[in-house]
Amino acid sequence: MLIINRPKSAYWQDWNDSQKAPWIFWHIGAFWYRVQELLGNYVLPAPQRVCDMASAFFRSQVIITVNELGVPEALEAGPKTGQQLAQQLGVHRDYLERVLAVAERLKLVSVTGDDAAKLYHLTQLSAVLCQSHPNSVKHMVGLFGDHFPAFAYLTEGVRSGQTPYKLYAKGLSHWEHMQQQPELYTRFNKAMTDFNNLCPIESVFSAYDFGQFSRIVDVGGGLGAFAAAALAQCPQLKGQLFDLAHVIKEAKQAWSSQRKPLLRRMSFSSGSFFEPGKVPAAASNSEVFTMRQILHDWSDADSVKILKQVRAAIGSFTGCKLVIVESVLASKLMRNTHTPRATGDVHMMVQYGDARERSEAQFEQLLAASGFRMSRLLPTKSLFFVLEAVPV
């Protein structure tokens, strides 16, 4: 109750600060999440509950629209009337105010004044849709908007066994589609940086000790936010960022402008993690190879190919570790948050077809087929887990 009565504390304003809270708060939160599901399923009349779930995309589209229009950032400077917002954003006032009426019910805006002088205010929820917020998910929500049209093909995909995204993109895979439309790739990379706020980097560091290593090799590390946090956390650590050439080009620019103090300890290399010899090779037994939210984008066969390239990069340095950060299905740990992990699996199916979220047993099978053995599975104070594997 002490924390609940402190709405202005950093606990509520900066999600990373919540990593300092005891585990009991996370178990209580996960339990309450499950209670809400049960209340909805067994207290509301079944027709109402089913229709409420089926129409949930009405609400998600309101969130995506509010985000795409830039409403939260327009309210950063202070409250505004509907007319002021419509003029600033260049949109239809009546339609905007009808969308904001739903946004108010979703606590994305608060409202003061009467109908004649109604003012819209930023809230704790909509604040994270501002790029300036320390835990912004503006680009992640934008990515959900980009992915939404493919879900319209889910039924056809289940019937035919075809990837829903390919049905939507006229035969192109998600990756091919982004290559043809570079703006989608830019949005995707920005969303992956926002992912650090959905799965706080601090949640990984509070669950796993990176201080034991001399070098981190972040495989498929995007713009390098995770590697940067690791270097900042561990002064003795050196880093190697590995991703596709166009991603590394953008990462170098970002590091040169935003992370100069860490730049001397970071090196960059580019290539495909499917191509033999491209994953940076280990140079000692005190190194860690990391993969965050990589394998769920790929089928079992492709995941084994990727992991085998990492194993080849480790070579004879069998003291190295592989750390994978992923969602884990049906885990006995934090089982009350299984629903969002299960829906995430359907998301992967829609986007990539044979890609999937996996259970602990499925990860063990992938690792065993690739020359690794899972040594630990650690929960984090988020929806994701840390899997530690050792080469065999």
DSSP string, 329-367: ET-STTGGGHHHHHHHHHHHHHHHSS---EEHHHHHHHH
CA distance 327 to 345: 9
CA distance 55 to 211: 47
Residues of the chain with pLDDT under 50: 1-12
CA distance 298 to 23: 32
pLDDT at 127: 93
Q: What is the H or E stretch that residue 289 is in?
A: strand 287-292
Q: Are 372 and 194 in contact (CB under 8 A)?
A: no
91-112 in b/e burial notation, b at 16+ Cβ within 10 A?
Answer: beeeebbebbebbbeeebbbbe
pLDDT at 48: 87
pLDDT at 15: 59
Q: Structure tokens of 12?
A: 């509520």
Q: Are 218 and 241 in contact (CB under 8 A)?
A: yes
